[in-house]
């Protein structure tokens, strides 16, 4: 799924399985981690006491991320997954990899060229990482192509959904397609000849193009031309026949009609290619106008350096060499693709109507019982005064919880102010119109819009301008820091004073991703937390710098020290006869200081269970260092996105926190992040239950060993434990029971 915070993972973040190995004897060698993984396999000897600086104790960030994408790939290979979901995982794997090259590989390339990148805790240099990345990507590419071409595509055809090649289209249908080409596609194409005194054309990021070799029959001279495939206009596939059940890649229809684009010329050869550009950018800490600075950087990003050139495996060397020379790339930036180039287009196939039997069963989130009063929506503020409320998306509806909270605040005449952060939001989100309405009703409305939310910058700029024009106080944060925290603060007049009502989330205010990302949201009227968040907003909007908060942990000031202090307190409280335990659930674990703290706690005997979806730089199972640490990753139908930090000490109530931050340097030191304690005992029990189920999952989980290998869990019993299935069932059952009372 991506990230959609990819990610972040966004996007929509994601997932895995062993594949049909019995049917292909060659699949075994390519379907898992290689027998020897450079930079991962060597298990270090125990370091001397207090020495946790040994690079061998840390996995490399980029290689660990590629292992996450391998888990996504395993789900594409998994014959137990519904067919269209396997197809979806092919597309997710591709889009994940695109963003990885645009950002992470671009960063490594810049570090290699400038010599300024330095080495991380694992001590691998940029050049070494780029070489290892190329090997891993090639291995994964062969697997995803094989899964699609040999397994998924034939199986879909067996169910009546066919993805065909142009040579397989019957002649009658071919004539209809050619007519379609002449009528609709041909007028939109722009063939560009290369050479003959003309500069090489700009190739846009992630665009699909045909490189064509032409011969002049009169002069016998040969030239090259480029034809961009206009996917943004026509999509990736055209229908063959009626009913939308037979699909042809549009580039094949264009290739079959190249003679129409070059009359009088002989088409000698053609092949597909695709470039990936550097989309990373920096905004100066001293920018006077952050909005203008981001807009200027977005314009520059269109012309970023080429990071990757993907070509059809059968491309003729003369075509390939000309491209390499024209784009000025190094040999390690060239990638051959056997099969379909750019599998993100498979989302179109996944979106074909019908075929319910080939998909996951539908699921719709429910409304928590605490927010229902005699079958009707409860008064949100009254419910929050009574107790804290936790929601867990997508199992709980985003619309009837988060959106209704804001909606009630907008229409409540006693509400004086609404303050909200916006990192990413969906195009059809009601959040923005509701804030505009609140401003029109005379309330003080503050919206902290993060302009630097990667790949959502343009959308956020549009939202910001629309909000400003409607009278909302819009702030863009601090140039040096991204504002990644997720919170809404409502200030309401009550009696002779005011009360703060707060929502703190682990995910974005985005109705679309709330249906496919698992995220926690906490509603609280706790006075100290409300004051903390009010002061955090003052830091974001004004000229203030609160570094000490009452209960909240706020980055970049106190979040990392606060989490580390909880780890140290748990280690100090541990005794063999009264054991302590640490359980952490997050997207990524990379921060060396936090990892060293966990190593110290493990050495003290604390049992540590980590549920890390993506990057994990911590090496578990090292004697004398991390033998008490277990690491599990869950990759399934929904993108695991919630962050829960639980510290259990003998004789105390568990200390449990939720919030927006992963334990990564960028989150802890370069962003504004918000993590808050969960004070209500019943809410702590619910979150502890989520951790229990996550750690018990053996249906869509992988376990990390000391060599860096992720091994898929084997179900124990007739019915595998799936945290996502169990929570869907649990929330639906709870809602149904409440409805019958």
What token pair was written down for 524? 């609280």
The residues with which 630 forms a beta bridge, in sequence order, are 609
Q: Which of 542, 499, 551 is nearest to 381 (CA)?
A: 499
| φ, ψ for residue 172, nearest 5 deg | -65, -45
User: What's the CA gap between 464 and 448, in Å, rounded?
Assistant: 9
Q: How many CB atoms lie within 10 A of CB 623?
A: 11
Distance CA 577, CA 38 (A): 41
User: Other CB atoms closer than 10 Å to residue 182's CB: what's the count?
Assistant: 12
C-alpha neighbours within 13 Å on the C-beta side of residue 709: 14
Calpha distance 2→214 (Å, rounded) = 40
Nearest to 193 by CA among 14, 322, 376: 322
Spatial contact of 343 and 90, defined as CB atoms under 8 Å apart:
yes
> What 3-state class would DSSP assign to 603?
helix
Structure tokens at 207: 């665009």
Residue 414: C-alpha distances to residues 410, 435, 488, 715 (Å) = 10, 16, 17, 54
609/616 Cα distance (integer angstroms): 13
Length of the chain measured in residues: 741
Q: How far apart are CA 686 and CA 672, in angstroms?
A: 27
d(C-alpha 356, C-alpha 662), whole Å: 36
d(CA 88, CA 91): 5
Q: Please state, in angstroms and rounded to a whole number, the distance separating the CA atoms of residues 317 and 221.
A: 18
Q: CA–CA separation, 596 vs 598, rounded Å? A: 5
641 is catalytic: no
Nearest-angstrom CA–CA distance, 153 and 30: 20
> Active site residue: 350, 392, 393, 484, which one?
484
Q: Which two tokens stand for residue 107?
A: 């960063």
Distance CA 163, CA 157 (A): 7
| Residues taking part in catalysis | 484
């Amino acid at each position: 799924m991506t990230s959609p915070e990819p990610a972040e993972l966004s996007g929509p973040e994601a997932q895995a399985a062993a594949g049909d190995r019995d049917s292909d004897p060659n699949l075994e060698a390519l379907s898992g981690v290689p027998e020897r993984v450079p930079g991962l396999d060597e298990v270090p000897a125990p370091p001397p006491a207090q020495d946790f600086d040994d690079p061998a104790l840390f996995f490399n960030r980029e290689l660990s991320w590629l292992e996450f994408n391998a888990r996504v790939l395993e789900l594409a290979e998994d014959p137990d997954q519904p067919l269209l979901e396997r197809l979806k995982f092919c597309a997710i794997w591709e889009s994940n990899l695109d963003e990885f090259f645009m950002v992470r590989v671009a960063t490594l390339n810049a570090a290699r060229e400038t010599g300024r990148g330095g080495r991380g805790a694992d001590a691998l240099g940029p050049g070494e990482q780029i070489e290892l990345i190329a090997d891993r990507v090639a291995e994964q590419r062969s697997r995803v192509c094989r899964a699609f071409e040999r397994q998924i595509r034939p199986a879909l055809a067996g169910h009546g959904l066919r993805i065909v090649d142009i040579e397989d289209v019957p002649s009658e249908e071919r004539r209809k397609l050619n007519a379609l080409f002449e009528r609709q596609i041909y007028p939109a194409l722009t063939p560009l000849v290369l050479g003959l005194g003309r500069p090489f054309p700009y190739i846009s990021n992630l665009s699909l193009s045909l490189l064509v070799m032409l011969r002049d029959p009169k002069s016998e001279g040969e030239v090259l031309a480029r034809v961009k495939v206009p996917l943004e206009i026509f999509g990736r596939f055209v229908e063959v026949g009626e009913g939308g059940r037979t699909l042809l890649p549009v580039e094949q229809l264009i290739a079959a009609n190249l003679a129409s684009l070059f009359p009088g010329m002989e088409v000698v050869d053609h092949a597909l290619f695709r470039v990936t550009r550097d989309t990373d950018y920096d905004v100066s800490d001293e920018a006077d106008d952050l909005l203008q600075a981001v807009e200027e950087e977005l314009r520059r990003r269109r012309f970023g350096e080429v990071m990757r050139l993907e070509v059809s495996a059968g491309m003729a060397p003369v075509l390939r060499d000309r491209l390499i020379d024209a784009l000025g790339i190094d040999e390690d930036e060239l990638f051959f693709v056997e099969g379909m180039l750019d599998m993100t287009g498979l989302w179109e196939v996944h979106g074909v109507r019908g075929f319910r039997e080939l998909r996951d069963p539908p699921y719709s989130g429910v409304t928590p019982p605490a927010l229902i009063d005699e079958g009707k929506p409860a008064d949100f503020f009254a419910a929050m005064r009574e107790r804290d409320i936790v929601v867990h998306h997508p199992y709980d509806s985003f619309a009837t919880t988060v959106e209704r909270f804001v909606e009630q605040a907008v229409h409540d005449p006693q509400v004086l102010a609404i303050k909200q952060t916006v990192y990413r939001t969906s195009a059809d989100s009601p959040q923005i119109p509701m804030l505009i309405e609140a401003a029109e009703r005379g309330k003080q409305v503050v919206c902290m819009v993060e302009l630097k939310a990667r790949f959502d910058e343009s959308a956020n700029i549009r939202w910001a301008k629309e909000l400003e024009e409607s009278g909302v106080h819009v702030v863009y944060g601090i140039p040096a820091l991204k504002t990644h925290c997720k919170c809404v603060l409502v200030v309401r007049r009550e009696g002779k004073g005011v009360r703060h009502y707060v929502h703190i989330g682990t995910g974005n205010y985005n109705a679309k991703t709330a249906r496919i990302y698992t995220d926690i949201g906490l509603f609280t009227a706790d006075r100290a937390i409300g004051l903390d968040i009010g002061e955090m907003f003052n830091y974001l909007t004004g000229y203030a710098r609160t570094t000490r908060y009452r209960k909240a942990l706020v980055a970049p000031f106190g979040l990392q020290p606060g989490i580390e202090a909880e780890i140290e307190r748990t280690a100090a409280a541990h005794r063999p006869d009264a054991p302590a335990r640490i359980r952490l659930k997050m997207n990524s674990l990379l921060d060396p200081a936090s990892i060293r703290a966990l190593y110290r706690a493990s050495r003290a005997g604390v049992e540590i269970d980590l549920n890390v979806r993506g990057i994990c730089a911590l090496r578990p199972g090292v004697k004398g260092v991390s033998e008490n640490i277990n690491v599990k990753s869950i990759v399934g139908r929904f993108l695991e996105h919630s962050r829960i930090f639980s510290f259990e000490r003998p004789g105390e109530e568990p200390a449990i926190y939720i919030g927006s931050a992963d334990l990564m340097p960028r989150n802890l030191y370069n962003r504004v992040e918000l993590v808050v304690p969960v004070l209500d005992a019943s809410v702590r029990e619910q979150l502890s239950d989520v951790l229990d189920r996550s750690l018990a999952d053996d249906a869509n989980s992988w376990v990390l060993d000391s060599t860096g290998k992720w091994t898929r869990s084997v179900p124990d019993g007739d019915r595998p434990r799936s945290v996502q299935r169990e929570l869907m069932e649990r929330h639906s059952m709870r809602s149904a029971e409440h409805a019958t009372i």
